[in-house]
Chains A and B, each alone.
Chain A
Amino acid sequence: MVVNKYSILLPTYNERENLPIIIWLIVKYMTESKLDFEIIVIDDGSPDGTIEVAKELERIYGSDKIVLRPRASKLGLGTAYIHGLKHATGNFVIIMDADLSHHPKFIPQFVELQEKNNYDIVTGTRYVGDGAVFGWDFRRKLVSRGANFLTQILLRPGVSDLTGSFRLYRKEVLEKIVSSCVSKGYVFQMEMIVKARLFNNTIGEVPITFVDRVYGQSKLGGSEIIQFAKGLLYLFATT
């Protein structure tokens, strides 16, 4: 029997406060579920000294568990995943945000569903079943639901949460998808799952609770909405 190993990619930028907590939580849940794992921290030269804290954590948990692969400057999410993937030794890769909005307690559920149905991808979803959010006002919920509805109509992706970024991938599947994506930000997550469908990858969903940024500000302004609309139209016309 092949024993699976899970490489968790954590791109960070100014996550000095959150990084120790997220790593502590990942270690806790992966250890409890007896899953083999490594955490790859890709810090893009955070001015708040995230990397100093990351080094401390590497010392505490060991360099086999905490792998530091920093970059000199902010280069975007897509290249962060490519960079992290190069150093990933697991046969599965988990991507999640380091800001505590994604709780590591869901990872064992992702793994269980993947094993049960032999999925290529398992994605967290805020929009179905017990999926829920915390810290969103009416406007934020309305924009989110509206954008999601529009996306479902235009792209019919067969996945309920396209902009979420808490997902488990087979490593070779993620490598193929990432290298075919060109978008940035929110749209990047959307493009990844749409491309996955194009490549006929199988996708499972696990409802998650999403607790919006405990520290720091999560923003959704006019420019994010315009960026989203452009990305949506781009995917509508090209995929």
Chain B
Amino acid sequence: MTKLTEFLAVFTAFIAGWLLIVKLCGNNVVSTYVLLPLPLHVIIIFGIYSVATVLYRTFNFKDCPAAAKELQEQIEEARKDLRMKGLKF
């Protein structure tokens, strides 16, 4: 089963379950304010979660200036050593 078919299976099951419950509940306050907009609310909550997660991870993406500095020093060291070994840059 591909990830796409997995997704479609879960999606179809969710929508089918939702339709069934909406049907069974009939016309009342719960149905109008909770059940009917449920899929929309799920999408909105997932969207907020996604944006928050990506932003949090972006701001907490570590920098490594020490690694960059170490590399620069090693580049100089390598050049010096390779020149001694006869390499022309």
Contact = CB atoms under 8 A, between A and B. Distances in A.
Q: Do A and B bind each other?
A: yes
A20 B58 contact: no
A211 B65 CA distance: 9
B68 interface: yes
A103 B71 contact: yes
Contacts of A136: 61
B3 A103 contact: no
Given A24-B82, A142-B54, A57 B87 contact: yes
Contact of A149 (B4, B7, B53): B53
Contact of B54 (A21, A60, A146, A211): A146
B71 A24 contact: no
A65 to B, nearest CB: 13
B67 A134 contact: yes
Contacts of B23: none
Contacts of B58: 138, 141-142, 145-146
A100 interface: yes
Nearest to B4: A237
A190 B24 CA distance: 45
Contacts, number: 90
Interface residues of B, number: 30
A211 to B, nearest CB: 5
B78 interface: yes
A200 interface: no
Interface string A202-221: 00000001110010000000
Interface of A: 17, 20-21, 24-25, 53, 56-57, 60, 100, 103, 127, 130-136, 138, 141-142, 144-146, 149, 153-156, 209-211, 214, 235-239
Interface of B: 2-4, 7, 50, 53-55, 57-58, 61-65, 67-68, 71-72, 74-75, 78-79, 81-82, 85-89
